[in-house]
Chain A
Amino acid sequence: MRKEQISDKEAMFVLIIYYIGSSFILGVGGEAKNDAWISVILGVVMAVPVILIYARLLSLFPEKDLFDILDWAFGKWIGKLFALVYIWYSFHLGALVIRNFGEFTNTIAIPETPMIVPMLCIGIICTVAVTSGIEVIGRISAAVLPILIIIVSTVSLMAIPKMYFHFLKPILGNGFLPIIKGGFSVFSFPFAESVLLMGVFSSLKTNKSPYRVYLLGTVIAGLLILMITFRNITVLGSTYSKFYFPAHIAVSMVSLGDFLQRIELAVAVDFVFGVFIKTSICLLVTCKGIAKLLRLNDYRSIVIQVALLMVYFSYTLYDSIMEMAGWAFKVYAYYAFPFQVIFPIILFVTVEIKVRRGKKKLQTGVGTDG
């Protein structure tokens, strides 16, 4: 099989869609209320060091993905244990994203349709995408992202008459604590979730590109999320954090003249594409991990079954949307912290020590087993 390769631009676009996918509609940093936009900035700033670690790891091992690095750093058995941990995380994250989409369709879009149906549809599309490979995912991202950005900015521009800028005030009215809390939640969702892309970006072209991709992608996505958060706050005011899907509500307020109104479906388009890309990445990483773990020839052989399992898993994940929201706001940030920060730091330290100790081993040592 031909070596898969994606250009820096495509990788960056994948990363951006991965970031903005579900955060566009779920809203981020709700804890900080009308200061959520500061939380977004804070979240990006907090994410940068972690992201630099990911980029450093990737650039140390060109053409190796997360699981290879784990194997190399920790040896066979502990490496496999860590691999299992990340397989679980990507599987779980994929399920969460699918569930978000399911809840969205079930509460707002098509409430009478059983939730499993749109979830299964996303599963099928992701199966097709993952089977086609990261190249195709990259190309479709490159093609779609400009359209998404155009849609989002047009809608945001149209929202300007409905914006009340005094909703932003008082800045820092509630003190710093909520902002830091919000910043932390923005950090863990969506920015530090990019740890999973380490499982995919083995297909990058040069050594330098992980830095470029990660940093630029994070900054651009940060700006976009900032814009959306800004729009949501100025349109919705302090009730912003009360909605499950604030972007949807904010856009539903927008109208241009008498004719162009109720354009919230435009946001739904973004959401579907975002969820599709994000789930595809999660699915891809899960399958790659399992394939590495069980030493399969090609991850494609298990995609369908893993996708089905992911959909079923996400279906059983919560009983209600309240539970989902509670989980997303209260638990997720802490739950994801080890996967996003602690394990990568352990990995990073181990790798650095090993690399310092023997530069020569790097060439021969990588990927001897597996």
Chain B
Amino acid sequence: MIVLIIIGYSLLALFELIPFYHQKHWREFWVNAGFGFCSFTIAVLLSFDVNIPSPSEPIKNMVMFVIRKLV
């Protein structure tokens, strides 16, 4: 699993990042690298079954809180 993820992301880097580097589109390069790093991290975490906190619970609490305040 983890091997597949690494292969996948290196392929992505090969086809996405390297062209930006060659064309000297630095902004694109860094943004893409940043997003890529994020998603890579999450993918690795997911593959190790790490529980990533979901935002839906806090949103729910917040919405409920606001509603209760209003009503």
Q: Which residues of A contact B (CB under 8 A)?
A: 92, 116, 290, 294-298, 301-302, 304-306, 308-309, 312, 315-319, 323, 327, 330-331, 334-335
Contact = CB atoms under 8 A, between A and B. Distances in A.
Given A296-B28, A335-B59, 17 more contacts: A295-B27, A297-B25, A301-B20, A301-B32, A302-B32, A305-B16, A305-B35, A306-B35, A309-B35, A309-B38, A312-B39, A312-B46, A316-B52, A330-B60, A331-B56, A334-B63, A335-B63
A304 B12 contact: yes
Interface of B: 12, 16, 20, 25, 27-28, 31-32, 35-36, 38-39, 42-43, 46, 52-56, 59-60, 63-64, 66-67
A116 B42 CA distance: 13
B36 A305 contact: yes
Nearest to A333: B63
Contact of B35 (A295, A302, A330): A302
21 contacts: A92-B55, A116-B46, A297-B25, A297-B27, A297-B28, A298-B28, A301-B28, A301-B32, A302-B28, A305-B36, A305-B38, A305-B39, A309-B42, A315-B46, A316-B42, A317-B54, A317-B55, A318-B56, A319-B54, A331-B60, A331-B64
A24 B25 CA distance: 43
A302 B58 CA distance: 28
A273 to B, nearest CB: 26
A331 B63 contact: yes
Contacts of A298: 28
Contacts of A331: 56, 59-60, 63-64
Most buried by B among A308, A309, A330: A308
Contacts of B12: 304-305
Contacts of A323: 56
B66 A334 contact: yes
Contacts of B16: 301, 304-305
The 3 closest A-B pairs by CB, nearest first: A305-B35, A316-B52, A308-B39
Contacts of B67: 334
B27 to A, nearest CB: 6
A320 to B, nearest CB: 11
